[in-house]
Amino acid sequence: MPNTVAPISIPAGAAAPDTRRRSSISGFKRSSVAPVAGGEDKRTSLLDVTRDNLVKQGKTFILYRVIVCGKLDDSSKKTEISSHYQRFFKVFQNDSELITGMLLMFQDTYVHVLEASEKVVTAFLRELRGILPASFPRTPEVFQTPPDSSNPSPNNNNNNAAAAAAENASLAIGSSFSSSIRNQYFSASKVLLLAGDVSGRTYSFWASRSIELGAGAAPYYVDEMMFNEENLERTIAKLCVDITSIGIGLSSLSKADLKQAMEDMASKFEDVLPRNEMIKYIMNECHAMTTVQEWAEIYDSHMEVAQTTEHVWPAPKMIEV
């Protein structure tokens, strides 16, 4: 006898059972699947949720903070250095990505704190190595063309013109950076801090100041114990905290008080301002601190991945199934 399924009888007035498929997960929201063009469903990923939260918080990019220090190659070029960085940051400045921080120049050293996106911070560290953006204004004061001593013939002008045309063509293609021979403002630089995804800015603007301590300022002597193996990390951390506290103090002032404080930073922030002698000691004696060149070799160089088979001889045989 064939198997048959008896029909289900529903009493009059009773509601029909809901045969629709129910989700086994309580609280499941179908709003996570949004219909898109073409009839396909687009699922909301965790990355989409994170981006939406960042937009609601006004964070359109991840904020980085870098603090570098170094020696001034020529202390008489402080005004020129300030103008150079104003032009440099103008290349990257826009309404959505602010660039804040401060460049402090002392007798023959400097400290520079910068708060910006990863793109700007990377370009800034590359600039310290003499690599400027292709969109940077190409002026004779910044770019210098070295003479070609290997070919002193009259055709040198044609060669230089051809080289310049080739360089301009490469820039037009869209290369992001171009090597340059520019006036070296700093003889050496080291990275004190490089932090990503910081919670907020400590400076509300970017500015540069030349710090000249008065004749009555107390002499500063570097305590070598501050920079030994046990205390080096603590000393550098305090130095970075002091530098960021200057920005917090300036950002809390009114416009009138801010102008006065900027003109008299040496006395207003005397307790937290780094001293010229300390920066010189870091540059000369603290060999454990990362230089800008070392940073580039670690984080900004091409990575060559070698497979295991390239280091094994003879080469392993294929597995036969």
Helix, coil or strand: residue 71: strand
**Burial of 317 (C-beta count, 10 Å sphere; 0-12/13-18/19+):** exposed
Phi and psi for 79 in degrees, rounded to 5?
-65, -40
C-alpha span between 276 and 282 (Å, rounded): 10
Residue 270 located in a structural domain: yes
User: Distance from CA of residue 116 to its chain's centroid?
Assistant: 6
Question: pTM of the predicted model, to two decimals?
Answer: 0.67
- What amino acid is encoded at 289 in this protein? M
Residue 313 located in a structural domain: no
CATH number for 199: 3.30.70.100
| Count of beta carbons in the 10 Å neighbourhood of residue 121 | 20
Residue 109 located in a structural domain: yes
C-alpha span between 47 and 68 (Å, rounded): 33
pLDDT computed for residue 25 by the predictor: 43
Phi and psi for 311 in degrees, rounded to 5?
-110, 5
C-alpha span between 272 and 275 (Å, rounded): 9
| Tens-binned pLDDT, residue by residue, of the chain (321 aa) | 555 555 555 555 555 555 555 544 444 444 455 555 555 667 889 988 988 887 787 667 889 999 999 999 888 999 999 999 999 999 888 766 789 999 999 999 999 999 999 999 999 999 998 887 776 765 544 444 444 433 444 444 544 554 454 444 334 333 344 444 345 788 889 999 999 989 899 999 999 999 987 655 666 777 888 888 888 899 999 999 999 999 999 999 998 899 899 988 988 898 899 999 999 999 998 998 999 999 998 888 877 777 777 777 776 777 887
Residue 171 located in a structural domain: no
Q: How many domains does the chain have?
A: 1
pLDDT computed for residue 142 by the predictor: 45
pLDDT computed for residue 210 by the predictor: 93
Residue 157 located in a structural domain: no
Residue 80 located in a structural domain: yes
pLDDT computed for residue 192 by the predictor: 96
Please give the residue range of the domain that contains residue 184.
64-138+176-213+220-299
